[in-house]
């Protein structure tokens, strides 16, 4: 059996743990399908039954069918259509047991591969979510910093404007005082 090891912890986190019940259910479904189906022209997957077709007259087809019985095949059903004798034969128990072992091993390998792929996809999704959250926090901090900077700039601008207004008032008062002083002197005193 070709066994592939899937390592978790370095690049892939094991979000979906091995579930023996899930694996057993998959194996049960594959075994049920194996027992229900027959290999033939249209069904190539392993199956406990095979579609046997003989394009000979009935008496010659039955002689050929006896050869299959000697190999251990048993008859499930049969029909004769025009010139074709068709039968569904069940494989010998020894062959079925061997194929079921192989089917179980393949199902286990497929389950481990599928589980690893699901874990890899979930790991990528979780990393993406984490990065998105980090970016949003950084953007929020940057926006808050910009607001604080803008508030500080606004406060500085307001203070400068207030200082200018106060200076203008002082200048205005000084100009008025000069005017009052200049015009309040008596005309004959100069």
Q: Indicate if the pLDDT at residue 167 is higher than 50.
A: yes
What percent of the chain is modeled with pLDDT above 90?
42
| Nearest-angstrom CA–CA distance, 110 and 27 | 11
| Nearest-angstrom CA–CA distance, 72 and 167 | 115
Greater pLDDT, 120 or 3: 120
Whole-prediction pTM value?
0.63
What pLDDT, on the 0 to 100 scale, is given for residue 90?
93
Contact yes or no for 88/51 (Cβ under 8 A): yes
Contact yes or no for 66/85 (Cβ under 8 A): no
* Token pair recorded at residue 51: 């579609």
| Radius of gyration of the chain from its Cα atoms, rounded to whole angstroms | 46
């Amino acid at each position: 059996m070709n066994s592939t090891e899937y390592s978790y912890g370095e690049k892939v986190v094991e979000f979906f743990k091995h579930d023996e019940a899930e694996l057993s259910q998959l194996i049960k479904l594959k075994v049920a399908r194996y027992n229900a189906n027959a290999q033939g022209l249209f069904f190539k997957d392993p199956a406990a039954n095979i579609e046997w077709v003989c394009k000979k007259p009935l008496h010659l087809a039955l002689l050929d069918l006896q050869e299959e019985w000697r190999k251990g095949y048993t008859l499930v059903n049969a029909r004769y259509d025009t010139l074709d004798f068709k039968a569904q034969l069940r494989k010998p128990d020894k062959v079925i047991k061997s194929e079921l072992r192989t089917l179980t091993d393949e199902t286990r390998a497929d389950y481990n591969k599928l589980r690893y792929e699901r874990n890899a996809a979930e790991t990528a999704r979780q990393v993406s979510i984490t990065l998105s959250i980090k970016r949003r926090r950084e953007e929020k901090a940057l926006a808050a910093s910009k607001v604080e900077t803008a508030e500080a700039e606004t406060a500085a601008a307001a203070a400068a404007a207030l200082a200018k207004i106060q200076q203008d008032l002082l200048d205005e008062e000084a100009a008025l005082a000069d005017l009052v002083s200049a015009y309040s002197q008596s005309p004959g005193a100069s």
